[in-house]
Structure 1
Amino acid sequence: MPHPDPRHVLLLSMHTSPVDQPGSGDAGGLNVYVWHLARALGQAGWRVDMATLDRNPSHEPGVRETRVADGVRLLGVALPGAAQTPKEGLPRFAPDFGRALATHYGRTGRRPSVLHAHYWLSGVAALEAARNLDVPVVLTLHTSAAAKNLRAGPGETPEPREREDAERSAVAGACRTVVNTPVEKEQMVRLYGADPQRVTVIPPGVDPTVFHPPEDPDRAARPGFTVLCAGRMQPLKGQQVLVRARGILRREHPETPVRVVLAGVGSPAFLAELHATAAEEGVADAVEFIGSLPRRQLARLMGDVDAVAVPSSSETFGLVAVEAQACGTPVMATDVDGLRFAVRHGETGWLVPGRDPAQWANAMHRAARDPGAWRAMSHAARLRADELTWDDVAAHHADVYLACARAARSAYTPTCDHRVPEP
């Protein structure tokens, strides 16, 4: 068995590649998180591998390495029959994904000192790989089945029991579970029976080179008040709530010119439903669908609009909300889970009590009626985002990795060194 490199980490993101554009396919906040964490660790002197499922059906089974940044490689794992399998069918490939990575490191003569799994599928794969490599696992679920099912709204398909059981096993088997907020830590303890000493809170960061206020915003060129919702188009994210809310605004406050911009892609069925709802509400002319945007273009748009809306039913953090604040734009977000941490109510935006379209219509009406007061929160929003940097995120993760690696070497505990300081 090759000796582990003490500053070598493998980040597993099986179901979606960290280098994919967020807002397309299954790519979203998780992709942003893994990519920026990897890059910041690489800049800090770590050797970083990111592993994802190779989706090219012409590739032979095996692992392909691609250098994507200083100190960072992407490992594409090709498995027979997995390339064109939808996300729902991937659980059966997770153990093979983990075994393929273990075999790869066995052949290279070098192995990481810790595996960091992102999302539950990667958790299953990481535990399998760890058994073969004899290294500890750090887990970040990003979303959990139990929490999502508690918050699920109309039209949201419940997460399967298979996922919840797998998440519980991954939490139990991990050296340390990393979560975004104290709220998520409490959920891990209450819903999954996690040992609170083995759950570490590390909020995500924001890239200030991408997300910052535009030097020449063209907000004034837009008629009325513009609200942007950016992310995957799916019931959980709540685009349907905004469309219904715009309909209520037109009926109750026809004098209030609000434009809703929806950025992202989703299933054809859900997109068709959104278009039909806009037509039914009589607001097809006030709802704009612009598809998925590159990060810099999205950041520019965030800085140009009047408000960014996050009407999700659940979010472990809500990275879009903080990215919008970094662009100087206040945020309207559902008063739930990690969004309560990301948005400071009345200071950097508003927390809307629920997902009733009438509540969102009221919030948009209030903001559009007094845009000056709404925009007065811009400075505080920027300061909030300045508190969160990827360098800090990487440093806190490095502390966790090194503690777990020390514990594995010394057999201090079969799970984890509990002396890792909280950030």
Structure 2
Amino acid sequence: MVSVHTSPLAQPGTGDAGGMNVYVLNTARELARAGVEVEIFTRATSSDEAPTVEAEPGVLVHHVPAGPFEGLSKNDLPTQLCAFTGGLLRAEAHRRPGHYDLIHAHYWLSGQAGWVAAERWGVPLVQTFHTLAKVKNAGLAEGDSPEPYTRVIGEEQVVSEADLLIANTAAEAAELQGHYGAPEGRIAVVHPGVDLGVFRPGDRTAAREALNLPQGALVVAFVGRIQPAKAPDVLLRGLARLREQDPELSEKIVPVFVGGPSNTDPYWLPRLAWELGLGDTVQWRSPRSGEALAQVYRAADVVAVPSHNESFGLVALEAQATGTPVVAAKVGGLPTAVAEGRSGLLVDSHSADDWADALRKILGDTSLRADLAGNARTHAALFSWRETATGIRSSYRRAAESHATGRLQSAC
């Protein structure tokens, strides 16, 4: 696996680390448990990192030096693709011929490096984009910077060269076809999963005690990177509008934001909270994962996912796995991750009025909230990382067959 811009060992929720980290690490683990040896190549970002780390038996993470350890944003990394690809090729050169059977690249930067390595080694290239530039630019947050044209070109090249593209949902598969001209026969749809052992229902009272949250409050949680694309400001504006419309209900609400800044002014969201008159009610918490993150979900009455775009929406799935309903934007893969009207509510816009309406509907109706919570775990249980890995292994076989057929046709 190639994951250039973010390590699967990094803490999700800050910088460039997010759902892709969770996806890469968990699929690698499940593949290893099924007998597939996985080596993950990522760019080294600290001199303290060991060159190679065993994440667990069967999963190695290689930190490839490429450019300065710190100070490079994701948009700077195309300048280091040559150095990274060189490191990737050198690693294979120390192995016996044919050591690697297949390359699975994550994000477009990895696809560029994987494309070169796949041609050099004569192996199939499987690509998962996680996000697409043309889709992000079509639903850009106000004030957010569009994805550069170099990324669009890079994605088009990888789509053209990959033996197989793995899409998270049927909606993403349609985007690959519509925006990038990807042939339907070279796309496999494999849903991401959730760790149903870690993210499980538990004691809400104990969770609130652990997080020092008031027991009688209505807790609304946001989990993710604090950046315009994730739209935490949309949630704040919806809460501010709700306070104007229903002050009595709003007095009970405690918003909790769990995450860190991602290539943005670290104070932009707290400033907005104070400007909207919510500064004294919002609680800010640092990024976390595993059981500590599950406690956040259990403590919440509802988890909000207002993103402008999500290829899937792992936060929504994790929250539902703990038995907490979700209010999410009706974009990208979220209509798959959330069962509308059964495990959560979907909002068809990012307007303050619509978000206020949705929040009032779920927070003001105890019976509805209980019904959604009762179905949330059942819906989340349809997704697991083991099932995801099974789908990925099937995709690998398809890619290998396609690659072998293509080489035979070329030889003829």
TM-score, with structure 2 as normaliser: 0.93
Aligned residues: 402
Kept after mapping to 2: 8 A contact 1:349/1:377: yes
2:10 is the counterpart of 1:20: yes
Q: Deviations over 1:309-349 (max 9, x none)?
A: 00000111111111111010110000112111111111110
2:340 is the counterpart of 1:380: no
Kept after mapping to 2: 8 A contact 1:96/1:125: no
Q: For residues 367 and 211 of structure 1, what CA distance do their matches in structure 2 show?
A: 22
Moved more, 233-242 or 294-303: 294-303
Kept after mapping to 2: 8 A contact 1:94/1:121: yes
Q: Deviations over 1:93-133 (max 9, x none)?
A: 12331232122111122521110000011011111211221
Q: Which residues of 2 match residues 11-50 of structure 1 at below 5 A?
A: 11-50=1-40
Structure 1 unmatched runs, 5+: 1-10, 416-423
Q: Deviations over 1:52-89 (max 9, x none)?
A: 00112478xxx932222111101110124465422221
Kept after mapping to 1: 8 A contact 2:207/2:295: no
Q: For residues 360 and 271 of structure 1, what CA distance do their matches in structure 2 show?
A: 24
Kept after mapping to 1: 8 A contact 2:67/2:83: no
Q: Which residue of structure 2 lines up, in the alignment, with residue 56 of structure 1?
A: 46
Match of 2:219 among 220, 226, 240: 226
Q: For residues 318 and 413 of structure 1, what CA distance do their matches in structure 2 show?
A: 40
Q: Deviations over 1:2-46 (max 9, x none)?
A: xxxxxxxxx111100001111122111000000000000000011
2:83 is the counterpart of 1:93: no
Give, as a single letter, the amino acid of the residue that structure 2 aligns with 1:131.
E
TM-score, with structure 1 as normaliser: 0.90
Q: For residues 366 and 413 of structure 1, what CA distance do their matches in structure 2 show?
A: 60
Q: For residues 276 and 95 of structure 1, what CA distance do their matches in structure 2 show?
A: 40
Q: For residues 86 and 60 of structure 2, what CA distance do their matches in structure 1 show?
A: 19
- Higher strand proportion: 1
Paired residue secondary structure (1:214): coil
Kept after mapping to 1: 8 A contact 2:204/2:298: no
- CA-atom RMSD, angstroms? 2.0
Match of 2:130 among 137, 142, 145: 142
Identity %: 35
Q: For residues 246 and 288 of structure 1, what CA distance do their matches in structure 2 show?
A: 14
Change (3 A) 1:250 1:413: farther
Structure 2 unmatched runs, 5+: 209-213
Match of 2:105 among 117, 121, 126: 117
Give, as a single letter, the amino acid of the residue that structure 2 aligns with 1:283.
L
Kept after mapping to 2: 8 A contact 1:302/1:327: yes
Q: Deviations over 1:260-309 (max 9, x none)?
A: 11110015854312111111111112211112123211111101210000
Q: Which residue of structure 1 lines up, in the alignment, with residue 270 of structure 2?
A: 275
Moved more, 34-43 or 98-107: 98-107
Match of 1:103 among 85, 90, 100: 90
Q: For residues 132 and 156 of structure 1, what CA distance do their matches in structure 2 show?
A: 38
Paired residue secondary structure (2:311): coil
Q: Deviations over 1:193-238 (max 9, x none)?
A: 0001101100001101211111454478533311101000001101
Match of 1:181 among 163, 169, 187: 169
Q: Which residue of structure 2 lines up, in the alignment, with residue 163 of structure 1?
A: 151
